[in-house]
Amino acid sequence: MGLQIDQEVLAELALLNTGGTESEPPPVGDVTTRRANSKRTVDQLMATRPPITGVAVQHHAVDTDDGATLTLHWYHATTEQPPGSAVLYLHGGGMIFGMRELGGLYDWLTRRYVAASGVPMLLVDYRTAPESAHPVPVHDCFAALEWLHGHAGELGVDPARVAVMGDSAGGALAAAVCLMARDRGGPAIAQQLLVYPMLDDRTALPDPELVPFVTWTYDDNITGWQALLGQSAGAHGVSSYAAPARASDVSRLPPTYIDVGDLDIFRDEDVAYARRLAAAGVPTELHVHPGCPHAFEGMAPNAAVSRRVIADRVRRLQII
């Protein structure tokens, strides 16, 4: 029968596209148009989202080794006692979209996770490519992890119960931060939650079975990796801190949760990474959701499969 999209997801995607104007997809390398399109889509998504109550946010800053100042957003529940655990949350965006384009969506998503789980989250506004190429984004995220550990006492956090979570490009950065923390001997990470992570810069040849369904296209992916890595994208010698699928050793990493849709161009690399983790002795939970393209739960939050995947992530957050 072949691959098919989930009908509830399809119905919500159709509503999202209602009233939009069809246009030619931007060519490979056109970051500016992709940023404008992303912001327009996020604005449309957020126009109908109900507010999430019971969550407060405080804003902090951290200085990086290269002289930049990053904004950190600390989300915590106001309706219950803090559990002692915490999450460093790294937003997606294909390595090229930042909070300027995606801020409304990630504010809503972070509030949703905190309200549902009770676990506070630190959302970091890391710098993005091509203006800030590798290794700047992962170093920014690692600086945020160090800040969270360094301020654990005043935030009411047990340093042994800090997890790292990210989706898409943020999933790659979360995996890279865990590799870096292992290699540097800390800070401690209790768990990594990788949501359809963008792990492999060598994902370039289109799968004709997936092409009709993709929401993050192969051209988008090439654009993101080239922005991050330049001419080295797809070549030999790329660091695992840029593309975690390149890691030769995935042992001694934190217990891992991975989910991805079977209509996502990251499906195979995510399944392969989960298999390698399990073979290396890392406790690994993997979900592949039939009928789901990239970022399906963000664009179709009312679909039954979206509610299930959020419940699975919240379950993992609550056991940190």
Active site amino acids: 168, 264, 294
User: Would you say the C-alpha torsion 249, 251, 252, 257 has a positive or negative sign?
Assistant: positive
Q: What is the dihedral of CA 62, 66, 67, 71, to 10 degrees?
A: -30
The helix-helix angle for 7-17 and 304-317 (nearest 10°) equals 100
DSSP-derived 3-state class of residue 294? coil
Strand duo 121-124 + 284-289: pairing: unpaired
Please report where in the chains the tokens 């002692």 appear, as a residue.
Answer: 84
- What is the rounded CA–CA span in Å between residue 155 and residue 241? 28
In the sheet that 256-261 helps form, which strands lie side by side, from edge to edge? 55-63, 69-77, 121-124, 86-90, 162-167, 191-195, 256-261, 284-289
- What is the rounded CA–CA span in Å between residue 78 and residue 96? 33
Contacts of 319 (CB under 8 A, 6+ apart): 191
Query: H-helix or E-strand containing 27?
Result: none
CB 15 within 8 A of CB 48: no
Contacts of 301 (CB under 8 A, 6+ apart): 12, 49, 307, 310
C-alpha closest to that of 176 among 256, 239, 265, 92: 239
- What is the rounded CA–CA span in Å between residue 159 and residue 16? 41
Q: Which two tokens stand for residue 92?
A: 């997606």
